[in-house]
Amino acid sequence: MKNKVLILLSAIALFSYSLSAQESNNFEIKFNISGVAHEGVYCTFFGERDNTGFNEKIEGGSGEFLFKGYVPAPTVVRVSFAGVDRFMKRAGRGILPVKSMGLWMIVYPGAKFIVEGDLNGKDFVDVYPKDGGENDIYAILTGKIMPLTNEGANNYLKIKFDQSTSDNEKAILEKKNAEIDKEIAKAKREFLDKYTSSLGALWLMEDMLIRSEIPVLDLEPYMAKVDVAKYGDNYYYKAVKSRIDGAKATAYGQICPSVITNNTPDGSTFNIESLRGKYLIIDFWGTWCGPCVAGIPHMKAFRDKHRDKVELLGISNDRDITMWRNYLIKNNMDYPNILIGKGEEDFVSKFNVQGFPTKILIDPNGKILYRESGESEEFYVKMEEMIK
């Protein structure tokens, strides 16, 4: 009986501690923004909770609302106002996705502050939250680049979709956009130089890597200045460090990193070592990626032509496992295929993949020979030369 009582008390204590820990990670942010009547507010988190972000909708029709919840660690959040047409960048039948359509801020455990702003007459979300800490630093970056991003997007739409824009006006706008791109790039570098050890800088480093705006090894001097005791466990720090490590580990001449996973169509264990002895093309792709899908028949044809010398490995960045499995069957993708996971199975970071598709050629002994992003016939011409 005493043992049972002790176990019960321990369980109660553990449960109480768990609740207390979660409460300490709660956040509550009040919004008071004039000049916006929306159908709903979407809050997209980027970082710890999910590597690519996810949406949570807040109902309501005005700029006054309370955004509250739980985050295990500081993360960047984008707030988007649904149904506000003037914020949308209409590109023909679609929408041109630009950062200036949303409000960007840093949310962290215990955050409690007010976001105020006036969007009357604005065609983008010209609001930059401050909290006396990380958001004040982040606002220096967003306050500089968002107006420029918006101006560049408007110019692009006039060039590509406004039939009333003359050729001379297009030339002027193209020149202006080239200047804007340089100004944005300069602002980002200046921010990294001055505010290196901040959450905003770490987010920016990862964002620039994802968009191939900076060579990965250029970030090493910046990362050396980051306060590891403060930010070492943060998602952005770990993501950037992982890509730097991946760039070094997957440079030409290096031995291909270990790839072992159960994220296979049937749940069995895959080990890249099983493909040694032939040239191996690793294809980073996704069912959602048009160029990736278009290139698969060409890649298979190349493999079939050199079946005695060449193997294929597909590494997919898909979330819907059922859709992925069905796609493999429907398109007769008769070669090993695995999914990207997290940690040691985050093969995007492990191989420093910055775009889809990316193809990497490995020699029969596991040495990395070549890599290329995008889909082109030149890749296979290059492969012909290398396997000979």
Mean pLDDT of the chain: 89
Please name every residue paired with 313 in a beta bridge, in sequence order, or none if there are none. Answer: 282
Residue 100 domain-assigned?
Answer: yes
| Length of the chain measured in residues | 388
| Same domain as 308, residue 242 | no
Residue 39 domain-assigned?
Answer: yes
pLDDT bucket at 138, cuts 50 / 70 / 90: very high
pLDDT at 31: 95
Residue 16 domain-assigned?
Answer: no
pLDDT at 297 over 90: yes
pLDDT at 20 over 80: no
| CA proximity to 216, closest of 246, 188, 189, 237 | 246
Asked if residues 174 and 159 have their Cβ atoms less than 8 Å apart, the reply is yes
Task: For residue 257, give the amino acid letter.
Answer: P
pLDDT at 221: 96
| Same domain as 159, residue 61 | yes
Place of tokens 């992003």: 373
Give the torsion through C-alpha atoms of 356, 298, 259, 249, to 10 deg.
-60
- Of 141, 161, 191, the last residue of a domain is 191
Top pLDDT among 3 and 233 is at: 233
* Distance between CA atoms of residues 62 and 40, nearest Å: 9
| Same domain as 292, residue 222 | no
Residue 45 domain-assigned?
Answer: yes
Give the torsion through C-alpha atoms of 157, 163, 166, 170, to 10 deg.
20
Mean pLDDT in residue range 98-117? 96
Q: If you write DSSP's letter for every residue of 139-185 in order, what string do you get? A: HHHHHHHHHHHHHHHHHHHHHHH-TT--HHHHHHHHHHHHHHHHHHH
pLDDT bucket at 187, cuts 50 / 70 / 90: very high
| Same domain as 229, residue 296 | no
> What H or E segment, with its residue span, contains residue 246?
helix 235-249
pLDDT at 60 over 80: no
pLDDT at 2: 37
Asked if residues 74 and 109 have their Cβ atoms less than 8 Å apart, the reply is yes
pLDDT at 1: 40
pLDDT bucket at 134, cuts 50 / 70 / 90: very high
pLDDT at 255: 93
| Same domain as 265, residue 242 | no
Q: If you write DSSP's letter for every residue of 56-103 in order, what string do you get? A: EEE--SSSEEEEEEE-SS-EEEEEEEET-GGGS-EETTEE---GGGEE
| Same domain as 183, residue 204 | no
Number of domains in the chain: 3
| Same domain as 216, residue 283 | no
Mean pLDDT in residue range 54-69? 81
Residue 86 domain-assigned?
Answer: yes
Buried b (16+ CB within 10 A) or exposed e, 92-127: eeeebebbbbbbbbbbbbebebebebebeebbbbbb
pLDDT digits 0-9 by tens, 313-354: 999 999 889 999 999 999 999 999 999 988 889 898 889 888
| Same domain as 308, residue 205 | no
pLDDT bucket at 25, cuts 50 / 70 / 90: confident
pLDDT at 53: 55
| Same domain as 288, residue 172 | no
| Same domain as 40, residue 174 | yes
| Same domain as 161, residue 147 | yes
Residue 313 phi, psi dihedral angles, 5° rounding:
-140, 120
Residue 186 domain-assigned?
Answer: yes
pLDDT at 19 over 90: no
> What H or E segment, with its residue span, contains residue 237?
helix 235-249
pLDDT at 378: 85
Mean pLDDT in residue range 238-265? 91
Helices (H) and strands (E) in the chain, counts: 11, 16
CATH number for the domain that contains residue 282: 3.40.30.10
pLDDT at 230 over 90: yes
Residue 12 domain-assigned?
Answer: no
In this structure, the strands spanning 26-34 and 112-118 are: parallel
pLDDT bucket at 48, cuts 50 / 70 / 90: low
Residue 55 domain-assigned?
Answer: yes
* 177 CB neighbour count, 10 Å cutoff: 18
pLDDT at 14: 41
Asked if residues 349 and 246 have their Cβ atoms less than 8 Å apart, the reply is yes
Domain of 74?
25-191
| Same domain as 301, residue 166 | no
Q: What is the side-by-side strand order in the sheet with 50-58?
A: 50-58, 40-47, 75-82, 102-107
SS3 358: strand
Residue 154 phi, psi dihedral angles, 5° rounding:
-60, -40
Contacting residues for 235 by C-beta, under 8 A, at least 6 apart: 47, 48, 51, 73, 75
pLDDT bucket at 282, cuts 50 / 70 / 90: very high
- Of 191, 214, 238, the last residue of a domain is 191
- Of 210, 228, 249, the last residue of a domain is 249
pLDDT at 51: 42
